[in-house]
């Protein structure tokens, strides 16, 4: 079954107890402003870092902690979780994190609240009641989805992988280290990983923040030198935007050899003695 679902799919399952709809509040949404102003009916809201990261380390929750958080949120191993984000990249980051942490039944709402509203569907301010706590059995992380800095450096030395940089043009060219609308902070060095091809994540999306047709996506990624047999590493600043590329490549275009470098530029741009290109 497709990991990408449309608003009609979500609407048909609005009363299904085996489906959980979750909005992910991103870095500009500390007060859940967008969610409280109007969200997709039935959605609960999570702050991205509080629910997707380990509470002490820059890492993802352990299998046991992931199971505890899911169970407290009313998510069992057989629950279908549907994400969307504000900004949209945070929903994809949640989808990727759940997949990486071993949850198999996870989907993305195409276009988030934007396509939903564009189709004339209502946004609501009422919050659903908390779901009853359930049991969740810890699973194994899917390590093939992720790559760490030492292996990225080794891939550079061997020229064995194609790197895709999902950041804005200003970040890729070395004019900024912060995102386009935020403070220019996050790394000591400006630039990109040497040889990385630029593919801004928003170029994959239309005006409603939904994915462009598959043929257009293939044209965009193919122009950067991708092919299904080549190892691909996607990164951005903190890997949120990179997960949009990961989803498009793996779920919509069928690529199998894709990994996320989740350290991304906030790690690489602060490392001692690694190469940087501008």
Residues belonging to the active site? 236
Whole-number Å distance between alpha carbons of 197 and 68? 39
Beta carbons within 8 Å of 10's beta carbon, 6+ residues apart:
21, 40, 82, 109, 116
Find residue 26's DSSP bridge partners.
Answer: none
Whole-number Å distance between alpha carbons of 88 and 14? 21
Beta carbons within 8 Å of 176's beta carbon, 6+ residues apart:
168, 170, 184, 190
Consecutive H or E run containing 44: strand 44-47
- Distance of CA 155 to CAs 152, 194, 218, 255, Å? 5, 11, 24, 19
**Strand locations in 63-194 (E):** 80-86, 106-109, 162-165
Polymer length in residues for the chain: 278
């Amino acid at each position: 079954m497709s990991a990408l679902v449309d608003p009609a799919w979500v609407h048909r399952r609005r009363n299904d107890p085996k489906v959980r709809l979750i909005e992910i509040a991103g870095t500009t949404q500390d007060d859940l402003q967008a969610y409280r102003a109007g969200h997709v009916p039935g959605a609960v809201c999570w702050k991205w870092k509080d629910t997707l990261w380990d509470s002490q380390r820059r890492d993802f929750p352990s299998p046991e902690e992931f199971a505890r958080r899911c169970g407290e949120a009313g998510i069992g191993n057989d629950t279908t979780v549907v994400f969307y984000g504000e900004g949209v990249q945070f929903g994809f980051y949640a989808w990727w994190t759940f997949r990486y942490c071993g949850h198999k039944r996870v989907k993305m709402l195409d276009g988030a609240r934007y396509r939903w509203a564009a189709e004339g569907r209502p946004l609501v301010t009422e919050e659903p009641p908390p779901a009853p706590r359930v049991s969740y059995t810890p699973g194994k992380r899917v390590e093939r989805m992720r790559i760490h800095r030492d292996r990225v450096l080794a891939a550079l030395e061997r020229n064995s992988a194609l790197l895709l940089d999902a950041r804005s043009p200003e970040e890729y060219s070395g004019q900024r280290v912060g995102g386009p609308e935020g403070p220019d902070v996050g790394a000591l060095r400006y630039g990109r990983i040497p040889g990385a091809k630029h593919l801004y994540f928003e170029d994959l999306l239309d005006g409603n923040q939904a994915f462009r047709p598959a043929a257009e996506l293939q044209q965009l990624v193919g122009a950067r030198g991708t092919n299904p047999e080549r190892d691909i590493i996607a990164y951005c600043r903190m890997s949120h935007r990179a997960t949009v590329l990961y989803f498009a490549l793996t779920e919509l275009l069928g690529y199998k050899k894709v990994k996320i470098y989740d350290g991304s530029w906030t790690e690489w741009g602060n490392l001692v003695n690694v190469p940087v290109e501008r």
